[in-house]
Amino acid sequence: MFQPLEGIHVLDCTRLLPYQYCTLILSDLGAEVLKIEEPREGDYGRWGDRSRSYESTAFAMANRNKKSMKLNLKDERGKEIFKKMIFTYDVLVESFRPGVMERLGLGYETLCRLKPDIIYCSATGYGQHGPYATRPGHDINYLGISGILGCTGEHTGRPVIPGIPIGDMAGGGIFTALAIIAALFGRERTGEGQYLDVPQTDVLTSLNLLNIAEALAQKKGQKARPYNLRGASLCYNTYMTRDGKYMALGALEEKFWRNFCKAVGKEEWISNHLAPYEEGDETTEAFKALFAGKTQKEWIDLIENVDTCLTPVLRPKDTLKDCHLSARETITEMDDPQRGETVQIGFPAKFSEELNFKRSPAPSFGQHTKEILIGLGYTHSSIQSLEVDGVI
């Protein structure tokens, strides 16, 4: 089976979902990822509630193929262990506020002297420098600064918070993994390590290219285009069905719009392609009434063989049962001795050679601590002493 990052070792010093998703991508591609967890609480994202009475389902999904080690990086003995480990690792990922790793004595300059070819990645909300660098923040704040939140909802009304944390998943997850893989590729060619600064706000601003370009065009005096991709057009919108569910119509191209109009027996609407969606407008209300005349299932059946862009709006519980996603192993299952059979979201890119992305289930808290320490030469008695003292 295919494991393109096999042989790459990653130290994951992050917490919570965004960065779990980054190292999930790396581990799915074959890297060996070791989670460094604070001995008392572990990764905050591990637990399903604040009392830590049960484990998060998302944690089991986002941490397959990884190992877990308890290690107190505030303790001098913990730092000593960490520095011993760094020699056998290719990548370090951390998500603390700027300056924290330096204060711990584990910043890039320090570790680079120990291992010059290390790929050291700092993934944060605002980056390592700039006026906002040390501010606290969450996905909603990064969405706000990037302009994305200002593009959601009705274009003249209150912003709507997206249903997923886009900055967390795209910035803390995908772009952080992309930067790491690019740095590893560069190291193969030059032999040199890299320091990576990956802020979610920068990633979101990059993702907002289309709307920022539109703002620049208006600044130059060019005529603004309609907000077709933000629900301003009839042909690109969501509509409630008779059973209170929704359908998503995305017939931006004339041929798909024409096919839709013919399928619903409304050929007189063909000339209304890109017509605005306006509450109270006669055409808009007729459109809403059309969709309200059938259940979601009836709409699905109607367009089964129609070449147009119309799909149901599924709830996550329904996505789990979608036949297309199951056929592609996007929704799959994995045997887990501790948790039983768990549902997993598969690696989204398919390679010509099958990717081995289901190697091991998410680790229990500190599951590999003793294994790692024994590999470093620590005796059972010294490990016991470290455990008693709260170092591990």
Which of residues 265, 288, 312 is at a domain's end?
312
pLDDT at 225: 64
Same domain, 43 and 67: yes
Same domain, 166 and 293: no
As a residue count, the chain comes to: 392
In a domain, 262, yes or no: yes
Count of domains forming the chain: 2
pLDDT at 229: 75
Active site residue 75: no
CATH of the domain at 146: 3.40.50.10540
Residue 48 has phi, psi (to 5 degrees) of -80, -15
Same domain, 283 and 353: no
Q: Which residues contact 106 (CB under 8 A, 6 or more apart)?
A: 73, 79, 82, 83
In a domain, 212, yes or no: no
Same domain, 192 and 97: yes
| Interatomic CA distance for residues 112 and 109, integer angstroms | 5
In a domain, 219, yes or no: no
Comparing CA positions, the residue from 43, 8, 31 lying closest to residue 363 is: 43
Please tell me which residue in 168, 202, 281, 307 is annotated as part of the active site. Answer: 168
pLDDT at 97: 94
In a domain, 35, yes or no: yes
In a domain, 217, yes or no: no
Q: Which two three-digit tokens encode residue 290? A: 């059309």
Same domain, 302 and 346: no
In a domain, 321, yes or no: no
- Count of CA atoms in the C-beta half-sphere (13 A) of 250: 8
Contacts of the segment 234-240: beta carbons below 8 A, 24+ positions apart: 234/272, 234/274, 234/275, 234/276, 234/277, 234/283, 234/284, 234/287, 235/273, 235/274, 235/275, 237/277, 238/313, 239/287, 239/288, 239/290, 239/291, 239/292, 240/288, 240/291, 240/292
Same domain, 74 and 136: yes
pLDDT at 49: 64
Q: Count other Cβ atoms within 10 Å, centred on residue 171.
A: 29
pLDDT at 38: 94
Domain that holds residue 159: 9-207+327-388
In a domain, 223, yes or no: no
pLDDT at 127: 96
Same domain, 333 and 278: no
Q: Are strands 246-250 and 236-240 parallel, antiparallel or unpaired?
A: antiparallel
pLDDT at 156: 64
- Consecutive 10-residue runs of the chain (392 residues): their mean pLDDT? 94 91 97 96 79 78 95 96 96 96 96 97 96 95 95 79 93 96 97 96 95 85 70 91 97 96 94 86 93 97 95 95 92 87 91 91 94 95 94 95
What is the pTM assigned to this prediction?
Answer: 0.91
DSSP string, 74-125: TSHHHHHHHHHHGGG-SEEEE-SPTTHHHHTT-SHHHHHHH-TT-EEEEEES
CATH of the domain at 286: 3.30.1540.10
Same domain, 34 and 158: yes
In a domain, 88, yes or no: yes
Same domain, 174 and 102: yes
Same domain, 184 and 234: no
Same domain, 168 and 111: yes
Same domain, 250 and 376: no
**CA–CA distance from 146 to each of 135, 246, 357 (Å)?**
15, 29, 33
pLDDT at 279: 82
